[in-house]
Structure formats: C-alpha cells, structure tokens
Amino acid sequence: MIALLALTLAAVPTPLSDALALAAPEGTRVEITAWSAPACQATHFEPQPIDGSGRVAVRASGRGCAVWGWATVRVFTTQAVATRDLEAGASLEGAVRLEEREWLRGAQAAPRLEGATASRRLRAGVVLRDTDLRFGPAPGTQVTVRLTVNAISIEQRGTIIACGQRVCASLSTGKRVAGVFRDGVLVTNLEGGT
C-alpha cells in the first residue's frame, strides 16, 4: 500500500525561522516566503546550507515524525553598488556605496574594494562582483616582473595586460604571466621550471 502525503503550505513555525536564521551566513538576513512539508507536528528543524535566495531543504522532526520540507527564502546582505556609470579602468573611489540587497544564489557577497578599478564598463546601480574589479596598475603600464622558479629568481620588464581581476603582464618573449603586484613589482611563481 502506498501512502500519499500531501504537502501543506502552513504558517511558518517560529523554530523554523530561528533555524534558518542560524543556518544563514554571517551578515545576512533571511525572509521566509513559503514553507511546505508533509503533515508533521515538527518542533525541530535542520536546514541545509543557505547560499542565497531560493528553496532550501529542511529536515523537520517532532513527536513521532520526521519529514523533509522546503522553505523558500529571500536572503539579504550588504553589497557594494556603483553610484554612477564607470568606464573600464576607472577608480571606484567615491563611486560605490554599501546597501542591503537581495543575495541571489551563486552570487558572492561584497568584494574587497580597496585599490580596485573597474575591469569593464559598469552602469550606475549595478551590484559589484569580483569579476567587475581589477587590482594593480592599468593595462599598458611598464613594470618589473619577478619570475621565481624553485630557488631561482629573475627580474625583467613586462607590460601590464587586461585579464579580469588578476594582475597579468606580457613579457618581451611573448609569454604571459599572472601574479601578485607588491611594492611596484609583479611577483610570479612558476612551478617546476615551466
């Protein structure tokens, strides 16, 4: 005999709200828009990790029952928003404000902004993501590149090139390298002499 359990949309139990708030990443606020689960007088709720707005599986248990249900949530967090249109390479200084916005599944929270420039053209009101930012000198700038292979370190001149948020340079040989820009030098660690 197959027992069919009907999903019920019920008022959100306070222990569920509390459990979802605890499961949410630090610095976020959760609103529950829907709750559905098979009938059970649940008093204990164990949500799966929350990584943005959407549906979250929740194990609900109570006196003599244990079921799985779905909570539909909207998650809000502080995010960096462009206050004006920005061209690629423009400094973000004075062009960004932090405000609470909905955190969509798969999106990252506010990125590090100190010393960043726009990696592409950005419109006013857009929520900034890591891929919208780049660090280090502007493309076309001549810099010293320190190549480190095992215990050997060689310095030569290179030209900064655009490559998203990483700092990359093109060497006179045509080789392209990425690294960390520190004290006016692009430091690149090459593995095993490649």
142-193 residue pLDDT tens: 999 998 888 888 899 999 887 766 788 999 898 899 888 888 888 888 775 5
For the domain that residue 174 is a member of, what is the CATH number?
2.30.30.760
For the domain that residue 104 is a member of, what is the CATH number?
3.90.1210.10
Residue 159 and residue 130 in one domain: no
- Rounded CA gap, 143 and 141, in Å? 6
Closest CA to 105 of 78, 75, 134, 79: 75
Count of domains observed in the chain: 3
Provide the pLDDT for residue 145.
92
> Per-residue confidence at 1, pLDDT binned at 50, 70, 90?
very low
Model pTM score: 0.62
Residue 14 and residue 49 in one domain: yes
- Rounded CA gap, 125 and 105, in Å? 19
Element (H, E) at 179: strand 176-182
63-116 residue pLDDT tens: 889 999 999 999 998 888 999 999 988 888 889 998 998 988 766 666 778 778
Residue 41 and residue 68 in one domain: yes
- Judge whether residue 126 has pLDDT over 80: yes
Domain residues for the domain of 30 are 7-75
Q: Is the four-CA dihedral 18, 22, 27, 32 of positive or negative sign?
A: negative
By mean pLDDT, which of 52-61, 89-98, 131-140 is the weakest?
Answer: 131-140
Please name the amino acid found at residue 87: E
Answer whether residue 104 is part of any domain. Answer: yes
* Residue where one domain finishes, among candidates 118, 135, 152: 135
Residue 71 and residue 81 in one domain: no
> Per-residue confidence at 18, pLDDT binned at 50, 70, 90?
very high
- Rounded CA gap, 24 and 1, in Å? 39
39-52 residue pLDDT tens: 888 899 999 999 88
First-to-last alpha carbon distance for the chain, in angstroms, is 65
Answer whether residue 1 is part of any domain. Answer: no
Residue 113 and residue 131 in one domain: yes
Residue 23 and residue 69 in one domain: yes
Residue 178 and residue 153 in one domain: yes
Answer whether residue 148 is part of any domain. Answer: yes
* Residue where one domain finishes, among candidates 99, 120, 135: 135
